[in-house]
Amino acid sequence: MRAAVGTPIRRVEDERLLRGEGAYLDDLCPVGTLHAAFVRSVHAHARVVSVDATSSSIAPGVSLVLDGPQLEKLAQPLETRITAPGCRQVRHPHLVVDRARFVGEPVVLVVADDVYRARDAAELVEIDYDPLPAVTTVDTALADWAPVLHDQAPGNVLFERQVASDGEVDATFDAAPVTATVTMRHPRVTGLPIENRGALADWDARAQCLTVWSSTQSPHILRGALADSLDLPAESVRVIVPDVGGGFGTKAQIYPEEIIVAVAARYLGRPVKWAEDRQENLLAASHARDTRIVAEVAADREGTILAMRADIACAVGAYGAHPYGPMLEPMGTASMLPGPYAVPHYRFQTRGVATNASPEGAYRGVGMVVATLTHERLIDELARTLELDPADVRRRNLIPSASFPYATPTGHVYDSGAYAEALSRALARVSYDDLRAEQAERRSAGSQDCRHLGVGISCYVEYTGMGSRTFQTRGMLSVPGNEAAWVRLDLDGGLTAALSIPAIGQGLQTSLAQVLADEFQVPVAQVRVVQADTALTPEGSGAFGSRGAVAGAGALHAAADRLKERLLPLAAELLEAAPVDVEYGAGGMHLRGAPDRGVSLATLAMGIDDADREHAAGLSVSAAYDPPVATFASATHIAVVEVDVETGLVEIRRYVVVEDCGPIINPIIVEGQVHGATAQGIGGVLFEELIYDVGGQLITASLMDYLVPGATELPTIEIDHLETASPLTVGGYKGVGEGGTVGAPAAIANAIADALAPLGVTVSELPLSPERVRALVRERSHTAAPTTSHASTPAIMAGPHNAGHSLVRPS
């Protein structure tokens, strides 16, 4: 029954947050809390010769100073268990032991009674470094002369894989009448939640139990990491997630700092808190993308795709992140490059390369952002080569709705979708034909207008809601992939639920309350979803991979069934009937076929209380749910831009999204997710870039240098919905958290490339800041031929390519 599901109810979490009564990590401060500060490496790559903490240790208020070797005696480094072929394990100490590998890597911990004093004392620590050469790009890290970051990874390759769907890829290319090539570099970016990272740990010496509050997306994975590292049984570790001020993947990783505060709390027998500042966040929280890719498509003269091949390399930073390892971007990009199109033959080579930079982790749309950017640029290049409309080339190649389930050449099985319908709706919404007519008129008029109109289309498909089989297949053994729900019938007949998936701002406490309310056919007001606490749910994975709706609804459904089963005998007793004659109906149980003869949940709750004192605190159950391998959401984005060739400024005139995340639980929440994700995608394509200089110093370590879009930089985002149910998930739901970020860079990049097409320049490097757009325009004015070569083009793909330009071969 759907009563609450599908309705745009306002969020239950909001009143508290609006009154300033949220409780985020740094708002927690138990009596006696001590404060942690870290001394971080100022070198990108250096041997630590000595650490002198003499003055620091005796500074006012200081209770503990620890360096790497001292910490190793108290806690084991994390072992990121990855069995994926081509993946090399490297050692990642919590604090630098002998060699620092990126600027910002924690070297020394200082704990004091006040955060100001902790930072004062941190400044007194003297570290003697012996600097080593640093590498911050794929090219330099792979060079013959490059320093090797880890002995276990010669050549700095942390991950590599080559896969071909079959042996016919090259033959297909050789025989194809048309090919197109795209060279792209996506900058290094970061999720940048407005709340930085943070953790608070408390050790109960009598019970030998550890409690950690962390602003994390992955409480159970953190519990496992703490248990392993501190050599405790998992049952003795409790992780509680307070209100979280945004995650976006940044908080899906397990970080050394979270482990270190727990070590300090156990050592000192006092609560220890670390609240990150923004500079630390930019230096040492996970980064993402930093991908360069050369990809080619082969097609016939009508634009039907015959084959694709690609060479991908990502600068993944100094270590693989826990628990995902170094393969998130390289593998995600490679496996989704065919996108929503029928691609008969495909081959890729992909690499994750160690660089002297903060480790890469998950960030909204991981892998799929660059995959989509690339396949959409390829389609546009193919269309331009063939002088076809890019919308027509897409229509010709989109996987038709009748083809599902559809197995891709990389082994994904798309479950359902309406790709062509999404494209048609988006084209209609922007009045595509009128835009092309306007563009043709403005171009043919030979106008002196410095503003050029561009239209960019982006069609994509994304994996969401992944279960255990996905993470097993990926070889990520520390990611269980399943989730659990705990549901209690309260004494007043209300229902309280907790999930292993934390709320991180995405509105889970409302949308899952809607799901649970419908499971029990009660008003949403009778249902309460509390924040994740590993003491309430036995197992789980976390809030990442657009899994909340799929895994959350699945787990709640299983728990609801179990609770109803448990209530049945009692209802039968109260109704003086045989259990087989009783069924669940609106708000309680009643005699089969006689809804008027029933007992409400409130009566059942009291009945339990009267009949059996053991249950006086309320009956509770928990249940686990393993989502399907994946369910695939999809969308079309269209951007209409005006590019000012004199200033390089890009104005987004219209932005339309037609998304399909299956049945919608709460329309305002879904639209909010699309808004925010799209904004982050737009940030990545127009503004955001983490820049390391050649020596490995991050020169964008403040929000004045790392530019995230503000209200004036973003357009109105218009949204339309399709609701193609998944045949694989409870309720048919698909995930929606990441899609906007996946679609936006391709739409904007294509729109800018389209606007600049008459100049004969090609977009190959993001972000397309005014400076970079002006450089493209200047490139045109300084060269005679429109097909210039690009100095920044990497030579990472063997073969006869003019990188960045379409190759038309004689048939």
Given the rule CB under 8 A, which residues bind other proteins?
A: 10-11, 13-15, 17-24, 26-27, 29, 116, 120, 191-196, 243-246, 248, 277-279, 504-507, 668-669, 671-672, 675-676, 678-680, 682, 702-704, 708, 710-712, 714, 716-717
As measured in angstroms, the least distance from the Cβ of 125 to other proteins is 15
State the Cα–Cα distance between residues 688 and 680, nearest whole angstrom.
9
Angstrom distance (rounded) from CA 520 to CA 489: 11
Longest CA span, the chain: 92
CB of 26 or CB of 380, closer to other proteins: 26
CA angle (499, 629, 479) in 5-degree steps: 55
Min CB(697)–other proteins separation in Å: 18
**Residue 124: count of CB within 10 angstroms of its CB:** 18
The CB-of-717 to other proteins minimum distance in angstroms stands at: 6
Contacts of 506 (CB under 8 A, 6+ apart): 543, 548, 669, 673, 737
Task: Rank residues 320 and 365 by Cβ distance to other proteins and give the closer one.
Answer: 365
> Minimum distance from CB of 63 to other proteins (Å)?
18
Count other C-beta atoms under 10 Å from residue 194's C-beta.
10
Cα 776 to chain centroid distance, Å, stands at 31
Determine the residue type at 256: P
Of 439 and 769, which CB lies nearer to other proteins in the complex structure?
Answer: 769
Q: Which is nearer to other proteins, 278 or 562 (CB)?
A: 278
* Residues 45/92, Cβ–Cβ less than 8 Å: no
Paired strand residues for 459: 636
User: Quick one: 332 or 507, whose CB is closer to other proteins?
Assistant: 507
Q: Which is nearer to other proteins, 15 or 392 (CB)?
A: 15
Report the nearest approach of other proteins to the CB of residue 713 (Å).
Answer: 8
| Residue closer to other proteins (CB basis): 323 or 505 | 505
Note the helical H segments in 498-637.
Answer: 508-520, 548-575, 601-611
Which lies closer to other proteins via its Cβ, residue 181 or residue 196? 196
First vs last C-alpha separation in the chain:
59
What's phi and psi for 726, nearest 5 deg? Answer: -85, 135
CB of 33 to other proteins, least distance (A): 11
Nearer to other proteins, 710 or 727 (CB): 710
Question: Strands 619-625 and 594-600: what pairing?
Answer: unpaired
**Rounded Cα distance, 643 and 758, in Å:** 12
Q: Which two tokens stand for residue 177?
A: 């009448």
Residue 79 CB, nearest approach to other proteins (Å): 32
Helical spans, DSSP H, in 36-144: 54-57, 68-72, 115-124, 138-142
Least distance from C-beta 28 to other proteins, angstroms?
9
Gap between the Cα atoms of 201 and 103, Å rounded: 26
Residue 364 or 805 having the CB closest to other proteins? 364
Cβ proximity of 321 and 660 under 8 Å: no
Minimum separation from the CB atom of position 116 to other proteins (A): 7
Q: What secondary structure letter does DSSP report for 713?
A: T
Q: How far is the CB of 671 from other proteins (least distance, A)?
A: 8
